[in-house]
Amino acid sequence: MARKASKIDQLVSTRELLKNAKTAEELRSSQAVWLPLELSMSIEQTVKVIGRSVRWTCTQRRRYCRIARCEEEAPRTKTESA
């Protein structure tokens, strides 16, 4: 069984996602996780910064956590799928 991702592990991986984001959607998804961890922002503050709803932001954060715990696979790009 895989070990649970710690806050430090999540910070490191979200920083990488921020650096490597190729689309606005990828950037917002990584910001939904990174901003509360790094800057201790509330969900409401994070929502205002990234310009998405509370529901979308919470969904992205939960999805990231499931991927970090190896409960879900990371989404693949169209070029990776081909």
Domain assignment present for residue 26? The answer is yes
Mean pLDDT of the chain: 83
Portion of the chain with pLDDT greater than 70, in percent: 82
Which of 14-18, 44-48, 60-64, 66-70 has the largest mean confidence?
44-48
Contact 14, 37 (CB under 8 A): yes
Whether residue 1 lies inside any domain: the answer is: no
pLDDT digits (tens, 9 = 90+) for 26-50: 899 899 999 998 999 999 999 999 9
- Total domains in the chain come to 1
For the cut 70, the answer to whether the pLDDT of residue 81 exceeds it is no
Residue 69 DSSP symbol: T
Give the whole-angstrom CA distance, residue 41 versus residue 14.
Answer: 15
The CATH number given to whatever domain includes residue 42 is 1.10.10
Residue 14 near residue 21 (C-beta atoms within 8 A):
no
